[in-house]
Amino acid sequence: MDRVALRGLKARGHHGVFPKEREEGQTFIVDIVLGLDTRPAAADDDLTKTVHYGIVAEEVVAVVEGEPVNLIETLAERIAQACLKHEGVEEVEVRVHKPDAPITVPFDDVTVTITRSRV
């Protein structure tokens, strides 16, 4: 299976279990890796035979900016389901970064990574 990756998609969302997170929001960063067969697109040099990663990027940002959820696990699941709606995408790996998570000790990042497929 071939891979198309988008890394570092940034959007502001209001996800989290604490009222401050819901009220003020924070930046989330999303990486996705789409699994699909790119041979038909490459053979014909035809965008319609592959995934349009620009559209996928816009949809991912819309999910992050959309309805708030408590957990980034839930956010990752919603992003994965949006990606799998694209014809030809057989699987997706989603990593959601929450670099401003409300943690009381020094840290660089918090991430949740999931893999989902059509199977």
10 is catalytic: no
Cβ atoms of residues 61 and 9 within 8 Å = yes
3-state secondary structure of 63: helix
CA distances from 114 to 19, 92, 101, 105 (A): 26, 8, 19, 25
Torsions phi, psi for 73 (to 5 deg)? -60, -40
Active-site positions read 98
